[in-house]
Structure 1
């Protein structure tokens, strides 16, 4: 059983998970997410200029924290944008769920509060447009299948 969020929910994880806190799902406030092991990544993006410094946590650490069991994650943004991502990508690459960029918190008015960020500068394969679609900003929900 996970702790109950004390602040506003910023992320919901549902589906194939073994650790929950509310109605069979895992809800997180920002403080709960910041308590996960932190990670940093410097990379360029398809939607910003230059190399940016991102702070957050690794997607695989979040999935381990909730006891995820499945083969895919459906990531959904605040605007209902959805994309299916193979879970094994998170083992192959250090995919970050960022809550800050260049030392500043990500705001919902500009790609926040959470943004899935791939280490595109570290792996040539990740510069393919197919991966750009997986950079879900304003992330609000993950469904494990």
Structure 2
């Protein structure tokens, strides 16, 4: 058998011709002192979904955001309403969010905006969304700082 060397660009071109195996990649990690779990987009979409139609300081018009309730995820991990959640974005921006917000309001981990997945460029794949149009008290800078986009991790300590 005769072997030939492939240049880097030829090898890259070859790899692009291979079929995609669709391996699901974890996009969210939730960790507490007792446990940690990671979720793929598919797993987040399989959870019961809530739609919040709202606008905020970062969108020009009301949009329909869809995703699992943050409260449901916190309950799964037995995270108390008195806990603080460290929300960490892909760019390492972080915001401390009281878990009570999730129990007092329908805060969602939005994975769809107007029925479409959100790219990193468009604040995805996960954007923490508050129902601001339903609760005028949420239209405040304190809550705007909790609208973490490109969310990658929720850490509870």
Q: TM-score, normalized by length of structure 2? A: 0.81
How far has the Cα of 1:68 moved from its partner?
2.5
Q: Distance in 1 between matches of 2:56 and 2:118?
A: 15
Pairwise mapping of residues 1-145 of structure 1 onto structure 2 (< 5 A)?
7-16=24-33, 24-69=35-80, 71-145=83-157
Please list the CA deviations of residues 78-124 of structure 1 after superposition, one character each: whole Å capped at 9, or x if unmatched.
00000111111111010011001111111112100000000111111
CA distance in 2, matches of 1:131, 1:112: 19
8 Å CA contact retained: 1:36, 1:61: no
Partner of 1:21: none
Give me the whole-angstrom Cα distance separating, in 1, the residues matched to 2:156 and 2:46: 22
Runs of 4+ in 1 over 4 A off after TM superposition: none
TM-score by length of 1: 0.87
Cα separation, 2, equivalents of 1:16 and 1:45: 33
**Secondary structure of 1:10's partner?**
strand
Asked if the contact 1:53–1:103 (Cα under 8 Å) also holds between the matched residues in 2, the reply is yes
Query: Which structure is higher in strand share?
Result: 1
Q: Is the radius of gyration larger for structure 1 or structure 2?
A: 2
Q: Which runs of 5+ in 1 are unaligned?
A: 1-5, 18-23
Q: Which runs of 5+ in 2 are unaligned?
A: 1-22
Task: Supply the distance in 2 between the matched residues of 1:33 and 1:68 (Cα, whole angstroms).
Answer: 18
RMSD: 1.4
